[in-house]
Structure 1
Amino acid sequence: MDYQNELSGKIALVTGGTKGAGRAIAERLKSAGAKVVITARNQPELPDEDLYFIPADLSKPEGTDKVASEVFEKFGKIDILVNNLGGSETPGGGFAVLSNTDWEETIQTNLLAPVRLDKAFLPQMLEKKSGVIIHIASIQGKLPLYDSTLPYAAAKAGLINYSKGLSKEASPKGVRVLTVSPGWIMTEASKRMMQRISESTNISVEAATQSVMDALGGIPNGRPAYPEEVAELVGFLVSPRAGYLTGTEYVIDGGTVPTI
């Protein structure tokens, strides 16, 4: 079946949409006919005139204000909001090395930024009784790695819980709210990290990749996800074909999480 135009006439916003899974999601929604807005702090590495770019730091409230103002001025609405922005820059070494700033900045980026964006765009969705919000969380919401990403894991757990609660309020009013929790994704940044591990430990890139998979407890599927695989799931979830799906978390991790 051809789904090329199933999002025709829709306006989509993808945060963190300049690279990695965010860029793949933006490209996927564009291919389905949506007009796609992307936002991030830095310019896209690969400019695309068909993706409308708004530079903004969404970890700060003024970043959300800027994006919302420009989106409404330029397009008048948002039909699809993909809260993909996220990440962790905290140091390794466990709980004791984490500062208050580490915690606050991580929670701002991974939890409060999506909350602020929802607050900006959900009211007009509710007014027209249609729309889809996707929160990109992480398997660390259920499988935390304490050494270096504990604040990230805690923020993503909060995002999953918040997303479920929001769906209870918004779904009866016509707006679907869903969570997608990826495992390890082989982005360009991940590839560079594997190269650094390879060079610093004098092992092959393949061995470096395996060492990271081992640290996760293994990936039964034998490899990380490709960004396009995450994008394909999101493309389905925001489409009319998924019209009965709301309030649910979809894990895409190649079987990494060992429990039900």
Structure 2
Amino acid sequence: MKDTSHFNNELSGKIALVTGGTRGTGKAIAERLLRAGATVIVTARNEPEENKEELYFIAADLSRPEGTQKVLNEVFRNYGRLDILINNLGGSETPGGGFAVLTDADWESTIHTNLLAPVRLDRGFLPRMLEQGSGVIIHIASIQARLPLYDSTLPYAAAKAGLVNYSKSLSNEVAPKGVRVLTVSPGWIMTGSSIRMMERIAESSGTTVEEAKQSVMDGLGGIPMGRPAQPAEVAELVGFLVSPGAGYLTGTEYVIDGGTIPTVG
């Protein structure tokens, strides 16, 4: 059993929501907050990979305004407030081929999922946080905001860049009123979907999974740490940032990429 004594129930009494919290990095974040004593709500379009009774699940499509409203209504009806909001939902389903193959629908769906979904949730939960004079909002962005891969994720990179800028601006507005806003920008994370992607690449190219993984790292310009991040490593950073020990941190972007971005700033 993993030793959790160092968490000391530091989030006891806190209500937290993790979007996209049923698998991958979102699932790891939800479980990390749960171990720290928080009451944790997760939301996603699909049911969790495994049902955890301790996690309250809300089925919702946050790329649509009515999905956001459903989550807001259910959280306030059942809990009355929210202390921690982790805007983790994100992803790219656009085709490869650069700008010329992308339609308006590709751009709009990506921006709705990666930028407007967190904007809507913030707008819904912030007034209550401001009333209580406390709260933490974490936006999960991506190093693609600085290191875009134009061939296959151009709208995703643009949306995440917008999220980083919005997050900084929002923090300046609400920090004087007791609410902290921070951004976490991961590099490549070895989630279940990443593993499946490596298997598909290996099968189509006639290589091994290890060789497929190396080809992806080479495409990023290399990862000095020599491997992708594990979801739990990103979750550990988020767990610290929402804790009382990070009480003076706001308005900052934290990059967790194993050294992938080759420049300063």
Instruction: Give 2:84's match in structure 1, choosing from 71, 76, 80.
Output: 80
Deviations 1:63-114 (A, max 9, x none): 0000000000001110000000000000000000000000000000000000
Q: Does 1:191 align with 2:195?
A: yes
Q: 1:88 & 1:58 partners in 2: Cα distance? A: 14
Alignment-derived partner of residue 246 in structure 2: 242
RMSD (Å), alpha carbons: 0.6
Q: 2:185 & 2:65 partners in 1: Cα distance? A: 25
Q: 2:104 & 2:138 partners in 1: Cα distance? A: 29
TM-score by length of 1: 0.99
Question: Which runs of no fewer than 5 residues in structure 1 stay unpaired?
Answer: none
Percent of pairs with identical residues: 76
Q: Which amino acid aligns with 2:108?
A: E
Alignment-derived partner of residue 174 in structure 1: 178
Cα drift, residue 134 of structure 1: 0.1
1:118-157, aligned counterparts within 5 Å? 118-157=122-161
TM-score by length of 2: 0.97
Q: 1:130 & 1:45 partners in 2: Cα distance? A: 32
1:41-52, aligned counterparts within 5 Å? 41-52=45-56
Alignment-derived partner of residue 229 in structure 1: 233
Alignment-derived partner of residue 110 in structure 2: 106
Q: Which amino acid aligns with 1:161?
A: N
Cα drift, residue 245 of structure 1: 0.2
Q: Which amino acid aligns with 2:263?
A: T
Q: 2:172 & 2:36 partners in 1: Cα distance? A: 28
Instruction: Give 1:67's match in structure 2, choosing from 71, 75, 79.
Output: 71
Q: Tell me, what secondary structure is at the counterpart of 2:85?
A: strand
4+ residue segments displaced more than 3 Å: none
Q: 2:6 & 2:115 partners in 1: Cα distance? A: 36
Q: Which amino acid aligns with 2:169?
A: G
User: In the alignment, is the contact (CA less than 8 A) between 1:17 and 1:25 conserved in 2?
Assistant: yes
Q: Tell me, what secondary structure is at the counterpart of 2:53?
A: coil
Count residues with an aligned counterpart: 260
Q: Which amino acid aligns with 2:119?
A: V
Alignment-derived partner of residue 37 in structure 1: 41
